[in-house]
Amino acid sequence: MTDEFLSKLKLIAPGTPIRQGVDDILNAHGGALIVFAEDYKKHPLTFQVGFHLNEDFSPQRLYELAKMDGAIVLNDEGEKILAANTHLIPDPSIPSEETGTRHRSAERIARQFNKLVIAISRRRKTITVYYGSEKHVIGDVISLMNKVNQALNTYEKYRQSFDKLLLQLDIAELEGSVTLREVCEILERAALAMKIEEEARRYLIELGTEGRLSKLTLDEMSEGVEDTVNLLILDYYNGDPDECDPETVRERLKNLPEKELLGFLSVARALNYDVSSSQQLGDVTVESHGFRILRRDSKIPMNIVTNVVRAFGTLERISQASLDQLKKVEGIGETRAAAIRRTIEMKKRQNAVQG
């Protein structure tokens, strides 16, 4: 489902005026065909209008007009009812897998004009949404809430695993004992979590106001994950970090099939490592550039962090730098240099205690 289609689904999510009107029609055992096409007058052969309206949208008006035959035409934002009792004659050569007349017309109109079309089935008691070549049957609120809760539970498990592995990485980084396999495992957990988050947010769009509490829960659980992943990618990218676009790599990881993620090999290749087998990953030792610790723990602005990494190259060299050496970096004064030293020393003490 494309982002554009998801944005269209927001128009008919629970809590919106359009959804109220659609639910009223469905609950009254009615059917309807609703087309969002404010330029319908440009296509008189396709849109043979019974009568023009140009009235403000209201759920009650939609409900009453659905009692008549023909489609109801709204503007693209769903704020105006433009026409009703409209006979649709789409291009018959456009392929359609639908069997019912209403749904077949809806699919063809959506494909022909790249418009949003809603088909409400009296017999099936379903709401089907078409947009361009995409189609989606709206689920009932209870089923969607069950899917969201399942997704939240799964996300929580991945997030807990991700956080645990990050703590282990903090220890290994300053000891200089990080392997490529460990980095790939962390990014694999993050990618799986982001996949689940994306799925949950699709359900939440359909739920509208019914999913507001679940949305707050997901927002809280997912806070900081994408930023942390971006910093991890910069830390362990095999090459000049200036040539790495972490957001592009992150999206690539998120879009990898789950089977490829679990093998870690595709994760390593996304970080620009030339590896031919998963067995190699545990033998390759890697060094952090220091982005994550400087940005997350020392709270230094990202542009200044970049300057520090350019000056020293790796976290190990940063940890060995004196205050005077740090202050030679553009943007690093006495306060920030001291903050970097405190962060490094604190991490070392924590590692010693945990060790």
Q: Please state the domain extents for the chain.
A: 3-138, 140-288, 290-344
Report the CATH fold assignment for 3-138. YojJ-like (1 (3.40.1700)
| Strand segments (E) across 92-210 | 116-121, 126-131, 134-137
What is the rounded CA–CA span in Å between residue 91 and residue 29? 29
What is the rounded CA–CA span in Å between residue 22 and residue 106? 15
Provide the pLDDT for residue 348: 78
Confidence band for 352, pLDDT divided at 50, 70 and 90: low
The secondary element (H helix, E strand) that includes residue 157 is helix 141-175
Residue with tokens 């023009």: 52
Both tokens of residue 141?
A: 């609120």
Provide the pLDDT for residue 337: 94
- Nearest Cα neighbor of 138 from 116, 105, 108, 155 is 116
The burial class, CB within 10 Å (0-12 / 13-18 / 19+), for 199 is middle
Task: Say yes or no to pLDDT of 274 above 80.
Answer: yes
- What is the model's pTM? 0.80
pLDDT tens-digit series, residues 98-132: 988 999 999 999 999 999 999 999 888 899 999 99
- For residues 121 and 128, the answer to whether their CB atoms sit within 8 Å is yes
Choose the weakest-confidence range: 12-21, 65-74, 256-265: 256-265
Report the CATH fold assignment for 140-288. Ferritin (1.20.1260)
- 72: which strand partners? 34
Q: Which amino acid is at 283?
A: D
pLDDT tens-digit series, residues 286-339: 999 999 999 988 889 999 999 999 999 999 999 999 999 999 999 999 999 999
High-pLDDT (> 90) share of the chain, %: 81
Confidence band for 353, pLDDT divided at 50, 70 and 90: low
Task: Say yes or no to pLDDT of 89 above 90.
Answer: yes
Q: CATH number of 290-344: 1.10.150.20, 1.10.3720.10, 3.40.50.300, 3.10.50.40?
A: 1.10.150.20
C-alpha Rg value of the chain to the nearest Å: 27
